């Protein structure tokens, strides 16, 4: 089993939720000493551990948060501190050993009374209490220690040194803040990070007291001052008293959303604190799977060593990624210095593809190099994009870019589909996370999201290097030319740029942007990315009407149609349908020409399948025919724009 530090380096690790909340839910009243249950009723503690493991927790914490001699003294069992901690560790150890790759963390909380210089407990007394806990936990078999919910920086520093004097196992040090984003003694997240980062601990972070939103804001501040791995264990919001019971109101779904945000802002170890339970951890596990594949990660090198069966047994061979020109016609065009242009065509809502094939013929005559085929756009039910891509390629010879989303398949289905795409000769794959079903026609549909686009890129890159998801060799590698998306209009551009670099590291070899209406914003976003070694295809969407512009601006997340553009479309729309479409094309042409020096290709997205708008848009590029010339070339009888 890989160690805690090895697993933190590989990806995100999920902890469990609250122990005290779960014991309370099971009828253990708050006036009892929860830590002593390790001796008096270990079965109820085991039940909590097992529920969290079943929910997906990969690290379970011992039931020892308050098991120091000072707190235990209130219940007359101070002399049992070592015994209680050792028993707590042994209970968790036995449960963890029932699972697969589950780690045990020894939980140590504050003493419950102020330590000098602000309190009556001396530094020596504090050190002795923490050391006693650490020895019991270490002897009970923990894999790491979690120091959590500390209010006072001085006290947690004492705890760190006490634990380190008793064990060399990893330490996670977490303090707690209130709704102001500060500790009760006025320490900011940046000050916490600065102080803890210089101590002999492996992970630092925040837990308890507040909900995930406040924790997220504070984590962002901590990330700015340290490169150490960060941990976040938020409460399920603020507690409420309902019918005599303490209730936390943050839902598992809410926690799942903030899990993604916390991970995207640098958190590597995440779980729940007060008010969270197995349902929260289960939702968090799903959120983590949407951001990274589990146990299918591949290194960044283009060449890997694999073992294959030969007549003489097993030997290591090198599998080197073939040049893009050998894997894809699109890659060949890029190598030849061509400025490729792609047009998006949505799969039909029926098996009929005659109109699609006629549109492809028009696009081919217009010099369009490749057709983009979205996968269930806006979470709608349409023909399989893979089937359509194969039919287009086999019946017209047009190259395709197959969009492939993570929404509808688990990682086994993804591998099957990708191997099928390879067999059909579909080489250009665009990895897309996908719109959630609630945005589409079937909000009751179940979303999978085992991985997101970054995880999908890693899976496909794995196949390109002749390995399946489990790391087993396959007879020959796939030959995918892998792409990914980028949104120049994202609200959090720092995060968007960070994810772009992660996509490239995961295997993306070309980038398609979201539609751009504000050229200055596109240029500024590309400057933020730094010098990229992969080609960028600028997304261009020729608007058809004012209503079309307002829909994209107000109802499509991540898209921004500037006021000036909407004003132009309003004026043109007042004159008629054709005038509005012509103005939309003019705007699209201006956008395309203004960014040519910054991009290596164009990705045209005509609304409502109106390919004539795409043809007119790219006609401004040198050597591209006009719509009228295309119509003459293909003949009006085959023109889907007529009749």
Q: Which residues of 329-360 are buried (b: 16+ CB within 10 A; e: fewer)?
A: bbbbbbeeeebbbbbbbbbeeeeebeebbbbb
Is the same domain home to 327 and 282? no
Long-range Cβ contact pairs of 191-195 (< 8 A, separation 24 or more): 191/153, 192/153, 192/222, 193/221, 193/222, 193/225, 193/226, 193/228, 194/225, 194/226, 195/153, 195/157
Overall domain count for the chain = 2
DSSP helix/strand/coil, 10 = helix
Does one domain contain both 143 and 82? Answer: yes
Do residue 338 and residue 261 come from a single domain? no
User: Do residues 14 and 133 both lie within one domain?
Assistant: yes
In a domain, 194, yes or no: yes
Residues 81 and 177 in one domain: yes
CATH number at 532 reads: 3.20.20.220
Query: 384 and 281 share a domain?
Result: no
Question: What per-residue confidence (pLDDT) applies to 237?
Answer: 66
Q: Is residue 418 part of a domain?
A: yes
Could you say which of 274, 289, 304 is where a domain stops?
289
The residue length of the chain stands at 643
pTM: 0.57
Cα distance between residue 47 and residue 26, in whole Å: 10
Single out the residue of 428, 369, 400 nearest to residue 621, CA to CA. 369
625 within some domain: no
Considering the domain boundaries, does residue 246 fall inside one?
yes
Say whether both 278 and 355 belong to one domain. Answer: no
Structural domain of 194: 4-289
Please give the Cα distance from 549 to 552 (Å, whole number).
Answer: 5
φ, ψ of residue 25 in degrees (nearest 5): -65, -25
Phi-psi region of 367 (alpha: psi -120 to 50; beta: other; left: phi over 0): left
Q: Same domain for 339 and 278?
A: no
Q: Within a domain: residue 285?
A: yes
> Which of 182, 178, 180 minimizes the C-alpha distance to 192?
182
Residues 335 and 220 in one domain: no
Q: How far apart are CA 390 and CA 393, in angstroms?
A: 5
Last residue within a domain, chosen from 268, 289, 310:
289
Do 277 and 339 fall within a single domain?
no
CA distance 322 to 302: 9
333 & 471 share domain: yes
Residues 248 and 374 in one domain: no
Q: How far is 401 from 372, CA to CA, in rounded Å? A: 5
- DSSP code for 115: B
218 assigned to some structural domain: yes
Burial grade of 125 (CB within 10 A; 0-12, 13-18, 19 or more): middle
3-state helix, strand, coil in the chain (%, to 5): 45, 15, 40
What pairs with residue 76 in β-bridges? none
Give the C-alpha separation, 111 to 233, whole Å.
20
Q: Is residue 114 part of a domain?
A: yes
Block mean pLDDT (10 aa), the chain, length 643 = 85 92 79 88 94 94 96 93 97 90 96 83 95 97 97 96 96 94 93 96 92 90 94 78 50 82 90 91 84 43 35 47 92 95 94 94 94 80 92 96 88 91 96 67 60 87 85 89 91 84 94 88 87 94 92 73 92 94 94 92 93 94 78 60 37
What CATH number is attached to the domain comprising 79? 3.20.20.330
Residue 632 lies in a domain: no
């Amino acid at each position: 089993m890989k160690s805690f530090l090895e697993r933190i380096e590989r990806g995100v690790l999920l902890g469990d939720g609250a122990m005290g909340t779960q014991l309370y839910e099971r009828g253990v009243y708050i006036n009892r000493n929860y830590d002593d249950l390790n001796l008096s009723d270990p079965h109820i503690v085991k039940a909590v551990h097992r529920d969290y493991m079943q929910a997906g927790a990969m690290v379970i914490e011992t039931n020892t948060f308050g098991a120091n001699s000072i707190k235990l003294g209130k219940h007359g069992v101070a002399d049992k501190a070592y015994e209680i901690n050792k028993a707590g560790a042994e209970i968790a150890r036995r449960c963890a050993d029932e699972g697969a790759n589950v780690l045990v963390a020894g939980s140590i909380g504050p003493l419950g009374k102020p330590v000098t210089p602000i309190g009556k407990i001396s530094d020596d007394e504090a050190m002795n209490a923490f050391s006693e806990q650490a020895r019991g936990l270490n002897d009970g078999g923990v894999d790491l220690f979690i120091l959590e919910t500390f209010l006072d920086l001085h006290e947690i520093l004492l705890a760190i040194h006490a634990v380190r004097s008793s064990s060399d196992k990893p330490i996670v040090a977490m303090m707690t803040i209130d709704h102001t984003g500060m500790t009760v003694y006025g320490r900011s997240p940046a000050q916490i990070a600065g102080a803890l980062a210089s101590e002999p601990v492996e992970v630092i972070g925040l837990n308890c007291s507040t909900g995930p939103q406040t924790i997220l804001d504070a984590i962002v501040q901590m990330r700015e001052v340290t490169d150490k791995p960060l941990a976040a264990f938020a409460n399920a919001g603020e507690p409420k008293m309902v019918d005599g019971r303490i209730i936390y109101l943050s839902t598992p779904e809410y926690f799942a959303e903030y899990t993604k945000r916390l991970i995207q802002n640098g958190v590597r170890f995440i779980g729940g604190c007060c008010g969270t339970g197995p349902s929260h951890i289960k939702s968090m596990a799903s959120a983590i799977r949407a951001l990274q594949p589990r146990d299918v990660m591949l290194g960044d090198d283009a060449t890997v060593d694999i073992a294959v069966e030969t007549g003489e047994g097993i030997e290591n061979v090198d599998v080197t990624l073939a040049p893009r020109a050998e894997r894809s016609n699109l890659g060949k065009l890029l190598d030849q210095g061509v400025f490729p242009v792609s047009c998006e065509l949505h799969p039909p809502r029926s098996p009929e593809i005659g109109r699609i094939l006629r549109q492809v013929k028009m696009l081919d005559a217009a010099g369009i190099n490749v057709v983009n085929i979205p996968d269930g756009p806006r979470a709608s039910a349409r023909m399989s994009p893979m089937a359509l891509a194969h039919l287009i390629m086999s019946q017209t010879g047009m190259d395709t870019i197959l969009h492939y989303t993570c929404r509808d398949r688990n990682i086994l289905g993804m591998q099957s589909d990708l191997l099928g795409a390879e067999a059909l000769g579909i080489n250009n794959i665009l990895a897309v996370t996908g719109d959630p079903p609630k945005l589409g026609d079937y909000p009751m549909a179940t979303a999978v999201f085992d991985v997101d686009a970054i995880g999908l890129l890693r899976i496909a890159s794995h196949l390109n290097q002749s390995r399946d998801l489990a790391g087993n060799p396959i007879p020959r590698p796939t030959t995918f030319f892998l792409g990914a998306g980028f949104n120049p209009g994202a609200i959090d551009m720092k995060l968007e740029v960070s994810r772009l670099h992660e996509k490239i590291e995961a295997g993306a070899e070309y980038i398609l942007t979201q539609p751009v209406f504000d050229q200055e914003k596109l240029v500024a976003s590309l400057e933020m990315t730094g010098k990229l070694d992969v080609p960028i295809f600028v997304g261009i969407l020729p608007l058809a009407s004012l209503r079309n512009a307002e829909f994209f601006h107000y109802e499509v997340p991540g898209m921004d149609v500037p006021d000036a553009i909407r004003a132009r479309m309003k004026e043109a729309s007042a004159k008629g349908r054709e005038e509005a479409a012509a103005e939309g094309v003019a705007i699209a042409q201006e956008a395309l020409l203004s960014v040519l020096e910054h991009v290596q290709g164009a990705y045209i997205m005509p609304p409502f399948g109106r390919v004539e708008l795409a043809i007119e848009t790219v006609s401004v590029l040198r050597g591209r025919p006009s719509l009228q010339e295309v119509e003459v070339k293909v003949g009006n009888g085959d023109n889907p724009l007529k009749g």
